[in-house]
Amino acid sequence: MGTDSILDKKHRGAHGLLNCHVFAKREHLARLENPFTGVAHHSASLTLHAVAGHEHLFPDALRQAQCIILEVDPRDELSLARMEQVRRARPSMPIIAAIEHADFNLTRALIRQGVFDVVNLPFEQDEVLSRIMDASASLAADSKADLAPMVSVVRAVGGLGATTVITHLAAAIARRTGKSCCVLDLDLQFGEAAHYLGLTAATSVLDLLEAGDRLDNDLVRNAAVESGRGTFVLAAPQGISPIEQVDLDILLRLLDVVRQEFDFVLVDLPPSWTNWSLSALLGSNEIVLLTDQTINGLRQTRRSLDLFDSVDFPRENVSIVVNRFEKRLMQKIGLDDVGRALERPVAATLAFEKNTLAEAQDQGRLIDEVARKTRFSADIANLAEDICAHTGVRS
């Protein structure tokens, strides 16, 4: 069985390249050279270094490694000291000790000393791969804890003003928290977030998705366009592109990198559902579901809620927001009617400011940059406060 197929089965869906370096005697490495030599996979890569006894390790390799497998002789104090030096130099890097005749007591003792795991010598490929994948999963779990909150803004039907809401919401969150907020425009065919803020992007989200294994923090950082309002935009492409061909692994990698680079992420999703857009949604901390006061809008909103239930997205993390809200005496569908029709509480309303919003967007500006103290601005500020509270973001 080839290495790629083993990795695929054991670690499909991982979206970080685990760079593992192996330091051991040459006779042990020989068992890993075929088919490992030169392997570079989207989940892991393996680099072999022949060292004997307690020889010093290569400094450059230690700096590059995300995980190491280190031959250790528990009877040799210098070998144990070398392991301890590596652990102190890279305390967050998983160290897998390669040992001959490892028993339970020895394994437990080494783990207590900070070793991630133990693998037996001579090497067996399946066992080595299993330990590497365990290390990769552990690193992925640790990195998740450091990811910024991500909120997806979803329109129940087209034309509900989702992009207007998301651009204003980003600015309100940045203003409230003093933190960087990024709008990730995944509406690959009709995304307008950059245009609404008067921005032009040289690199689009599609360019990042097509970068494949080259996708990294530097690419994302350089692609993000700053609005000057504490917000950044990763823009949709200028042209219309097929949305079915997005590679899910690369998309998930992109989401993680964006959440590493910024303090808060708002995702503008396409109006039609695909497997990858649903996966992006499931990676969110919260969903803001926009609806209106029309029968069709409520019917489609109910269908969206049913979809979220079918994939077990927590109900308490879905906020129903009525956009373009009008409170009139002769209004056919009032706020109470919306709540009853959806059998869910309405979290917020956003006032209808048709002319003022249109004027601001035509100029690539936000509404409070052309008019002061509008109801829409106040409603957006309240929604931003609620979202920050739900996601635990503080100033």
Both 209 and 66 in one domain: the answer is no
The predicted model gives 294-305 an average pLDDT of: 92
- CATH number of residue 184's parent domain: 3.40.50.300
Q: Does the pLDDT of residue 172 top 90, yes or no?
A: yes
**Would you state the pLDDT for residue 361?**
83
Write down which residue in 95, 122, 144 finishes a domain.
144
Both 68 and 187 in one domain: the answer is no
Pairing of strands 318-325, 181-185: unpaired
| pLDDT tens per residue across span 131-145 | 888 888 777 666 555
- pLDDT band at residue 22 under the 50/70/90 scheme: very high
Both 177 and 261 in one domain: the answer is yes
Which tokens hold the place of 68?
Answer: 């190491």
Both 134 and 155 in one domain: the answer is no
Both 55 and 162 in one domain: the answer is no
Distance CA 393, CA 176 (A): 10
The predicted model gives 76-85 an average pLDDT of: 88
pTM: 0.65
Q: Does the pLDDT of residue 12 top 50, yes or no?
A: no
Q: What is the mean pLDDT of the chain?
A: 85
Q: Does the pLDDT of residue 395 top 90, yes or no?
A: no
Percent of the chain whose pLDDT exceeds 70 = 90
Both 64 and 43 in one domain: the answer is yes
Q: Does the pLDDT of residue 221 top 90, yes or no?
A: yes
- pLDDT band at residue 394 under the 50/70/90 scheme: confident
Percent of the chain whose pLDDT exceeds 90 = 44
Distance CA 386, CA 54 (A): 57
Place of tokens 């919306």: 338
| pLDDT tens per residue across span 322-365 | 998 877 655 677 788 888 899 999 999 999 887 888 888 888 89
Both 49 and 175 in one domain: the answer is no
Q: SS3 letters for the chain?
A: CCHHHHHHHHHCCCCCCEEEEEEECHHHHCCCHHHHCCCECCCEEEEEEECCCCCCCCHHHHHHCCEEEEECCCCCHHHHHHHHHHHHHCCCCCEEEEEECCCHHHHHHHHHCCCCEEEEECCCHHHHHHHHHHHHHHHHHHHHCCCCCEEEEEECCCCCCHHHHHHHHHHHHHHHHCCCEEEEECCCCCCCHHHHCCCCCCCCHHHHHCCHHHCCHHHHHHHCEECCCCEEEECCCCCCCCCCCCCHHHHHHHHHHHHHHCCEEEEECCCCCCHHHHHHHHCCCEEEEEECCCHHHHHHHHHHHHHHHHCCCCHHHEEEEEEEECCCCCCCCCHHHHHHHHCCCCCEEEECCHHHHHHHHHCCCCHHHCCCCCHHHHHHHHHHHHHHHHHCCCC
Write down which residue in 83, 116, 144 finishes a domain.
144
Q: Does the pLDDT of residue 16 top 70, yes or no?
A: no
- CATH number of residue 71's parent domain: 3.40.50.2300
Both 67 and 164 in one domain: the answer is no
Write down which residue in 144, 162, 179 finishes a domain.
144
Domain count, the chain: 2
Closest CA to 380 of 159, 225, 229: 229
Both 30 and 77 in one domain: the answer is yes
Both 358 and 230 in one domain: the answer is yes
- pLDDT band at residue 104 under the 50/70/90 scheme: confident
Both 29 and 157 in one domain: the answer is no
**Domain carrying residue 179:** 150-391
Both 10 and 124 in one domain: the answer is yes
Q: Does the pLDDT of residue 168 top 80, yes or no?
A: yes
**Would you state the pLDDT for residue 7?**
31
